[in-house]
Amino acid sequence: MTQSTPSTPTGLPEYIPHWIGGEEVPGHDGRTFDVCDPVSNTPYARAAAGGPPEIDRAVAAAGAAFPGWAALSNRERARILYRTADAVEARHEQLAQFESHDTGLPIAQARGQARRAAENFRYFADVVVALGEEAFRQGGDQFSYVVRTPAGVAGLITPWNTPFMLESWKLAPALAAGCTVVLKPAEWTPLSASLWPEILTEAGVPAGVVNIVHGIGEEAGQALVDHPGVPLLSFTGSTVTGRHIVRSSAQHLKTLSMELGGKSPVVVFADADLEAALDSVVFGVFSLNGERCTAGSRVLVERPVYEEFTRRLAERAERVRVGPPADPATEVGALVHPEHYARVLDYVDTGRKEARLVAGGTRPAHLAEGNYLQPTVFADVARDARIFQEEIFGPVVAVAPFDDEAEAVELANATQYGLAAYVWTSDIKRGHRVAHAVESGMVWINSHNVRDLRTPFGGVKASGLGREGGAHSIDFYTESKIVHVALGDVHTPRFGGTA
């Protein structure tokens, strides 16, 4: 395909309602918002616009369903999660087409996201069945054990990039742990969330266990954050919004898991396998249209190989296939929304003033309309440049040189963010030193963001609060209570006895 006309999936809804208490629910006042595709930027559907009334109703439904869901054994809940995974996989192609149409992600990458969503449910079903609880013996006098109980109604607020997979990343552990849920999908990309009611009903999830309220963040999202019946919130999104949620949730002292922004460094030493590092950099910053929190958007290259690596990176960026999301050959599709597209273009304009543009920076000539940008590479980027410091969240990468290991670490840490980092070197001792010194929640050495679902996921500094993944997710969605039991006679110091 060489034109920007979208390939429209079959079965698109004209209207996306809320789903509350197992029923489709229109907005209480009939308000809706347009849902547009990022290729034509024209509406193809309307979604119900929720606010406090819908959130109240959804929280009430989740609260009513909580005792029954929490009372199920871990094994019983796991069986339902396995069936959910099967139902997701059965709709694999439809999900991928919906996701690609709604977000602009290339269809080949959207298919991978659909498979990952199913794996999330199977994985957390396995985790909750295998998870044990702690016990402690204090000699022969006392025995203590931990009781883990579901925390209650969980509020889930998800982003517009890879929405279905990230919804599954929160839904699966929340349900496995025994929580009921109110989900607020991103308003720019609600399409794939419209499939959850059918999937969850088919899997046997009881009515009210999962509730979905659509709407803009300032109304539906804020109402969920403010609701006193929601004791914990899991949010993925921007750092600016995350800070606002932290402030708002302080009134009710809510438990928070916040996966926020990133400006992740890729540190390439001169002794690295440059071909492998180049493959990792190109994929890591340009896949998913560059709209990924862990993108290696700052590439720091040791000076002896800096010019060569920058030249080869620019050449590769120019060859990346930009095209319609529905084309299987497309590697970078359309950015999600005109507002976001304009924001990314503004950063490109800023970068032209701050650094040396060596690739991209313009709309591809064969795509006259739609939110398209040729993958963009800036070289010689100063540490105080906006494109070095701020999250762009698009197919744009900043490249800078360093002279030694100490400078590499300093530059890697020279932003407010600390989500991910990547280190490329053949000196494994140096790789470990740098990995330990970089301020980030996750580091990959000679690897391109291959994740093990058992490992903790999250960042430091402005990249978030808390960790999810594996048992860490179950910890978030549960409360732990320690029970102490005396095994023998109790000898307590006696106060106030008779003289």
**So which residues are the catalytic ones?**
259, 293
What is the C-alpha to C-alpha distance for residues 3 and 372, in angstroms, rounded to an integer? 12
Residues 6+ apart with CB under 8 A from 310: 301, 358, 377, 379, 399
Sign of CA dihedral 240, 243, 247, 253: positive
Tokens 């790789």 identify what position?
431
Beta pairing, strands 265-268 & 210-212: unpaired
What is the C-alpha to C-alpha distance for residues 265 and 415, in angstroms, rounded to an integer? 10
Write out the two tokens for 98.
């919906």
Of 20, 55, 56, 27, the closest CA to residue 200 belongs to 20
What is the C-alpha to C-alpha distance for residues 409 and 387, in angstroms, rounded to an integer? 19
Ranges of H-type helices in 104-229? 107-130, 163-177, 196-203, 222-226
Write out the two tokens for 52.
């406090």
Contact 42, 36 (CB under 8 A): yes
Tokens 């979604």 identify what position?
47
Backbone angles phi, psi at 401, to 5 degrees: -90, 160
What is the C-alpha to C-alpha distance for residues 418 and 461, in angstroms, rounded to an integer? 6
